[in-house]
Amino acid sequence: MSNHFRDTLETFENSFPDRDYLIEIQCPEFTSVCPKTGQPDFGSLIFEYVPDKICVELKSLKMYLQQFRNEGIFYEKVTNTILDDFVAVAQPRRAKLTATFTPRGGISSIIRCDYIANT
């Protein structure tokens, strides 16, 4: 799943590679499927990253995320998988992904994962 999905992500050259600056991308309409019930899961993703030599192209990120619409995957796995793919393609200095899922059965979940490049 992930490597095939990962191929969708595209990048472009960072115009300011010598400066640390934060890019925040908000994706309020993320969907996947609960692997236990088959019911849709709805969430909001916030990417925060400090680019190095390249930045992620937004349309490709949108197309990448849409591939999860029919994927049966737990919140924790999808969040970590997305961050792993993002880091593999964008190679940022730092990255954080926060996934906030809407309540199901009276319980809501927020999953946060971080990446810091080895210098």
Q: pLDDT tier at 105 (50, 70, 90 boundaries)?
A: confident
Q: How many CA atoms lie within 13 A of 41 on its CB side?
A: 27
DSSP 15: S
pLDDT in tens, 54-86: 999 999 999 999 999 999 999 999 999 999 999
pLDDT of the residue at 1? 55
Residue 3 pLDDT greater than 80, yes or no: no
Q: What is the mean pLDDT of the chain?
A: 95
pLDDT in tens, 27-38: 999 999 999 999
CA distances from 88 to 31, 36, 57, 84 (A): 22, 29, 14, 6
Q: Are the beta carbons of 107 and 99 closer than 8 angstroms?
A: no
Which residues are designated catalytic? Answer: 34, 41
Q: pLDDT tier at 118 (50, 70, 90 boundaries)?
A: confident
